[in-house]
Chain A
Amino acid sequence: MLLPGLIIGLTVHEASHALTAKLLGDWTSYKMGRVSLNPFRHLSLLGTAALFILYFGWGKPVIVNLYNFKRPKLYYFISSIAGPVSNFLLAFAALGILYLNPGKYITIVSLSIFIINCVLAVLNLVPVPPLDGSKIWPCLIPGLRPTVSAKWSLFWIVILVIAFSTHTIGKIISFALNLLVPLLPIESLETLKELFY
């Protein structure tokens, strides 16, 4: 049920990073074919395999050359936050469709898009590499450089695994969903209950 939302969410998320970077002067990801809504350009092999095993996946990261930005810190912030923002926009577009009271199948797909994109947006704001939050927050803190040292990446992956296994990230996502799900129209909430309970 969540697959369409995940594929659409991941594709739009990564394409938004690439498009924003291109608009701000860095064509690296554009040259790699990432300014595209073709999901195959964005889905990674491992991330897609994980989708079927762990029921969660990830896309290929968008490569950015910060030296191509006139204002590296500000533009890196904008291109990094573009992914989560695009997920919120998609979620709210899906919410709009749900308020139009469409047929059952469109309701299911829209619900999938709404939920997955809310999860993707919130999850990506967590300040742990490789998530977008690790790029966004240093850009907001004066005195910090926008890049995170690569030698710490293994440490952060361990932190991320611990955060997942101790349900810390689950709690953050649940908190956000508890705020967002009440926005759904009553009919959609009924469909959601039918699908999950």
Chain B
Amino acid sequence: MAAFFKKIAGAVVRALARLVGIGALLDTTALWAIVFKLTKAGADGANLLQIIYLKYGLNEARNAAQSIITATKSAQPAALMASLEFREGNIEDAQQWVKLTSEKNTEDIESLLIIKLYLSEFFAEYDKKSIIEQILAINYLPMEVTRIALVGKAFAALEDKDLQLAEQTAERILSVEEQAAALIVKAALAIEKKNLQEAEKLLIKAQRKLTPGLFYPLAAGALLCVGHNEMAMEYLCRAGKLDDRLIRSKTQLGDLARSQEFNDYCSRRNKPST
């Protein structure tokens, strides 16, 4: 009975917090703290951490996270902390939040899958393909998560030279939306088929949808997967200053970005290198 009333009270305070939070003019941290205290729900805990992060920064969020994660069975607050750390470029800290959830936080474990997928590019203990399959086996994740997993699957298939699977996966994405990464995969496949005109068309389409900082590394990654190293270097060079996470990643593209060959190539083109 007490749990029921706490749930009702939580819903009322949540509605109030949302109302007060319209336009983000007022600080709703205290209200969300009350909501979480009443419900102990993972989504409310994650929401509270997000608000603390936006209002007071990562350190304050870290301070609050420990007690929130201890108070709930859900993995959602830890998943949020891991993604915030990842966004800030703190890869090891992101992994620590994931590890912290393994024993007690047994609910909403699927919320960790996307961050695990990101971490698979840095740590061998996360098996990228199995994480992708886990994500694609769940039929209630947000569309963005499934989309990222499908893009990962298409790129992995390109890397494995399973061109049919890469094509099928890209087509599956494109049947739903004109997604830039799927267009890039199709462009890489067109290059493989020596259909350069088609590849150029697809790359131009994809380029319109992304910022240069996103487009060039993605295109370079796809070209690298199909073995066009020189073209990949050219695209990666055009990206300008590379994201630190890309340089640190243990992927083919990360290896290329760290290589002397790439630095020399960029220097020759008189472009800023890493």
A-to-B contact residues, CB < 8 Å: 25-28, 30-31, 40, 45-46, 63-68, 72-73, 145-147
Contacts and interface: CB of A to CB of B under 8 A. Distances in A.
Interface in B158-186: 172-178
Contacts, number: 50
The secondary structure that dominates the A interface is: helix
Contact of B176 (A45, A46, A147): A147
Most chain B beta-carbon neighbours within 10 Å: one of A40, A46, A66, A146: A66
A27 B139 contact: yes
A65 B146 contact: yes
B215 to A, nearest CB: 16
A45 B146 CA distance: 29
Nearest to A72: B176
Nearest to A44: B18
A86 B11 CA distance: 28
Which of B22, B173, B177 has the most chain A CB atoms closer than 10 A to its own CB?
B177
A102 to B, nearest CB: 34
A74 to B, nearest CB: 11
A99 B137 CA distance: 49
Interface of B: 11, 15, 18-19, 22, 139-143, 146-147, 150, 172-178
Contact of A28 (B11, B22, B141): B141
10 contacts: A27-B140, A28-B139, A28-B141, A63-B143, A65-B141, A65-B142, A66-B143, A72-B176, A145-B178, A146-B176
A45 B175 contact: no
A68 B18 CA distance: 30
Contacts of A64: 143
Given A64-B143, A65-B143, 19 more contacts: A28-B140, A28-B141, A28-B143, A30-B140, A45-B15, A45-B19, A46-B22, A63-B143, A65-B141, A66-B143, A66-B176, A67-B146, A67-B150, A67-B173, A68-B140, A145-B175, A145-B178, A146-B176, A147-B176
Q: Which of B139, B172, B174 has the most chain A CB atoms closer than 10 A to its own CB?
A: B139
Contacts of A145: 174-178
B210 to A, nearest CB: 13
Nearest to A49: B19
A72 B175 contact: yes
Contacts of A146: 176
B23 to A, nearest CB: 12
Closest 6 CB pairs of A and B: A27-B140, A31-B140, A67-B146, A65-B143, A147-B177, A68-B139
A63 B146 CA distance: 14
A188 B15 CA distance: 38
B26 to A, nearest CB: 15
Contacts of A45: 15, 18-19
B150 to A, nearest CB: 7
Contact of B139 (A26, A72, A73, A147): A26
A72 B139 CA distance: 14
A115 to B, nearest CB: 29
A28 B141 CA distance: 6
Contact of A63 (B11, B22, B142, B147): B142
A28 B146 CA distance: 11
A73 B143 CA distance: 15
Contacts of B18: 45
A161 B183 CA distance: 35
Contacts of B174: 145
B39 to A, nearest CB: 14
Contacts of B15: 45
A80 to B, nearest CB: 14
B191 to A, nearest CB: 24
Contacts of B178: 145
Contacts of A26: 139-140
A158 to B, nearest CB: 19
Contacts of B22: 46
Contacts of B175: 72-73, 145
Nearest to B14: A45
